[in-house]
Structure 1
Amino acid sequence: MSRDVRRLLIVHHTASPTLQELFEAVRQGAATDEVEGVEAVARAALRATAVDVFEADGIILGTPANIGYMSGALKHFFDTVYYPCLEETRRLPYALYVHGGNDTTGAVRAVESITAGLGWERVHPPVEVTGAPGKDDLAACWELGATVAATISPV
């Protein structure tokens, strides 16, 4: 891939219609025409690999909050990529969106702990959505996608 185009990796566990709505809003924001030179690539958390991370110039993580923690799928992703990526991906720009029935605190804390260990740099506050997403929640997800894309844009 030419360095004229930067790659934004979206690693997500989309296990419900609600998470699908959030994911679509993030993906649309990441692909906005207002940001040039960025290719958004989505990978399901159970399929994403260290190679995907190595090829990324930025990453967005999406997960449900399950029993006070990130999804098992996103945990599997981190288990798979942590040591191979530990030294190679420091300062990788990242952002996070989380959906929970009534609380997202534990999931956010867990992801932020792991990304801190990896040395990734958060470029947007986590978007935390509980219950059914409203218009403002979807707009926040769009903004998250657009912000990370703009952060890594070569233009």
Structure 2
Amino acid sequence: MPKKKKLVIIAHAPSESTKKMFEAVINGASDSEIENVEVQSLSLLETQPEDINSANAIILGTTENLGYKAGLVKDMLDRCYYACLDKNEGLPFTFYVRAGNDGTGTCRAIESMTKGLSWRLVQAPLICRGDFQAEFIDQCEKLGLSMAASLEAGII
């Protein structure tokens, strides 16, 4: 049996709707058909460099705050940056954004910070715009499933 790969899901989920989205990503990634992927889910505050350095892939989740990513995303990346620098170049990742507006500034900010770490965006970001919709849950679940399945299959 091959060694399990590790998918780390890190998210900012300050509201009931963003908690549901986070849980949906975790549920998708934890699908029973995916046998060789270990899923670890963390809040931004509890994430440590060793969590990132032990990952084979990462999914980040954030809210759009004033046209930018949540401050806790920056805090987490700032805290972990030097301990992760040069240790996980090419790390496959994607992210999702709960955007009240269009999410453009949030995407730019995340892509800029992860570029500094030399991570590799392997799936288009999921931007959930406007008022909360039930379809966001399905989209988040598919995001988690897609990343876990791709990791297990060796595609990413």
TM-score (norm 2): 0.91
User: Please, what is the CA RMSD of the aligned residues?
Assistant: 1.7
Residue 94 of structure 1 corresponds to 93
What are the equivalent positions in structure 2 for 1:59-70 lying under 5 Å apart? 59-70=58-69
Residue 138 of structure 2 corresponds to 139
Aligned residues: 154
Residue 36 of structure 1 corresponds to 35
1:141 maps to a residue whose letter is C
Residue 122 of structure 2 corresponds to 123
Cα drift, residue 77 of structure 1:
0.6
Q: For residues 98-143 of structure 1, give each alpha carbon's deviation from its aligned partner in whole angstroms, at most 9, with x where no partner exists.
A: 0122231111110011111211111211110123333432222111
Cα drift, residue 56 of structure 1:
0.8
Distance, in Å, in 2 between the alignment partners of 1:21 and 1:34 is 22
2:31 maps to a residue whose letter is T
Distance, in Å, in 2 between the alignment partners of 1:154 and 1:88 is 23
Distance, in Å, in 2 between the alignment partners of 1:25 and 1:42 is 11
1:7 equivalent to 2:34? Answer no
1:16 equivalent to 2:24? Answer no
Cα drift, residue 3 of structure 1:
6.4
Residues 137 and 120 (structure 1), Cα distance of their counterparts in 2 relative to 1, 3 Å cut = same
Distance, in Å, in 2 between the alignment partners of 1:29 and 1:87 is 30
Structure 1: state its 5+ residue gaps: none
1:31 maps to a residue whose letter is S
Q: Percent identity?
A: 37
User: Tell me, what secondary structure is at the counterpart of 2:89?
Assistant: coil
Distance, in Å, in 1 between the alignment partners of 2:26 and 2:130 is 21
1:13 maps to a residue whose letter is H
1:111 maps to a residue whose letter is I
Contact 2:67 2:101 in 1 (8 A): no
Cα drift, residue 151 of structure 1:
2.2
